[in-house]
């Protein structure tokens, strides 16, 4: 149990530190970083598959329907990764953190709409408060917080599709990065031919950081998968707030992004929604645990 919590916590802390890593790569355009992230992730995953004696060609021999699902998840993942990197480069880490605060509640909403799951009144109250927070921010800022919404919905849809996919985290990531690799390599080769690429040019630390984007991407996913297998999913639900909290604190106190009283009000509504959601989940799990010996 303690080892599972440790693995999950390592994953969320690594995700929470992502803004610092992508900020180090600020001289490189977000799209170029995204393509390097895809390419080096593929290489790192291939090494792990080779170590586990799993051939990528075996994974790709799947039904067309399965590959279609992973093509869609790969597209969602690229949107999520690319937008997050762009948000860090344009000094919008706080907006990005809001997306991952909202994400659990979007999961709940998609569960109702798509999976026809039933919600308790507390869940509905949490979703309503989160919606009120987003609406308040939209009215005060004269526009929807689109970065947060795109990040939240893209990751929620990704999680929903991966929930029903017939492969584990590593194998699924292998297929996703394989499907994205041709486009990523084509773009990177075009940059190099035009003399606009950053890999191997300029500061050596930039080249190193681009190459390490693969392990940096894959390792938290692997730690998360290892942790999720060892602890109850309810504990994962509580730990998932570590990453956006760290991102928010980094954005405000390290990168000194503006955070007015108006934005605080909108965020406070979302935080209240998360507190209610967590309370409902904890209460439900506790009632189940207390009732179990009586069955």
Cα–Cα distance for residue pair 52/60, rounded to 1 Å: 16
Query: Cβ(73)–Cβ(161) under 8 Å?
Result: yes
Cα–Cα distance for residue pair 248/242, rounded to 1 Å: 10
Cα–Cα distance for residue pair 17/250, rounded to 1 Å: 8
Q: Which of 249, 253, 269 minimizes the C-alpha distance to 139?
A: 269
pLDDT at 295: 47
**Which position has the token pair 């999680």?**
159
From first to last of the 295 residues of the chain, give the pLDDT tens digit. Answer: 578 888 889 999 999 999 999 999 999 999 999 999 999 999 998 888 888 776 666 666 666 777 888 899 999 999 999 999 999 999 999 999 999 988 888 888 888 888 787 778 887 888 888 889 888 888 887 678 899 999 999 988 988 887 777 777 778 888 888 889 999 999 999 999 988 989 988 789 999 999 999 999 989 888 887 777 777 655 666 678 889 999 999 999 999 998 888 888 989 998 998 888 878 877 777 776 676 655 4
> pTM, whole model, 2 decimals?
0.86
pLDDT at 238: 67
Query: Cβ(267)–Cβ(133) under 8 Å?
Result: yes
Cα–Cα distance for residue pair 264/133, rounded to 1 Å: 10
pLDDT at 121: 84
Counts for the chain of helices (H) and strands (E), in that order: 14, 0
Q: Report H helices in 114-212.
A: 121-141, 146-164, 169-193, 204-211
Cα–Cα distance for residue pair 53/34, rounded to 1 Å: 28
Domain regions of the chain by residue span: 2-294
pLDDT at 98: 92
């Amino acid at each position: 149990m303690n080892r599972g919590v440790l693995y999950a916590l390592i994953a969320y802390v690594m995700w929470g530190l992502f803004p610092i890593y992508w900020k180090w790569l600020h001289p490189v355009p977000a799209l170029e970083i995204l393509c390097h992230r895809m390419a080096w992730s593929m290489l790192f995953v291939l090494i792990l598959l080779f170590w586990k004696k799993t051939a990528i060609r075996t994974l790709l021999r799947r039904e067309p329907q399965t590959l279609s699902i992973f093509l869609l998840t790969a597209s969602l993942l690229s949107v999520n990764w690319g937008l997050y990197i762009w948000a860090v480069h344009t000094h919008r880490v706080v907006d990005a953190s809001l997306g991952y605060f909202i994400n659990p509640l979007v999961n709940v909403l998609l569960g109702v709409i798509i999976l026809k799951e039933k919600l308790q009144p507390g869940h509905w109250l949490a979703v309503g408060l989160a919606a009120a927070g987003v609406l308040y921010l939209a009215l005060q800022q004269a526009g929807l917080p689109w970065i947060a919404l795109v990040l939240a919905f893209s990751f929620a849809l990704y999680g929903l599709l991966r929930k029903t996919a017939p492969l584990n985290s590593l194998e699924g990531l292998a297929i996703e990065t394989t499907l994205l690799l041709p486009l990523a390599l084509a773009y990177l080769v075009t940059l190099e031919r035009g003399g606009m690429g950053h890999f191997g040019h300029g500061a050596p630390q930039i080249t190193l950081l681009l190459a390490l984007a693969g392990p940096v991407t894959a390792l938290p996913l692997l730690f998360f998968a290892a942790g999720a297998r060892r602890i109850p999913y309810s504990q994962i639900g509580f730990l998932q707030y570590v990453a956006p909290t760290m991102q928010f604190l980094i954005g405000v106190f390290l990168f000194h992004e503006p955070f007015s009283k108006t934005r605080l009000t909108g965020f406070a509504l979302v935080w209240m929604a998360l507190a209610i959601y967590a309370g409902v989940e904890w209460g439900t799990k506790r009632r189940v645990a207390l009732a179990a010996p009586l069955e």
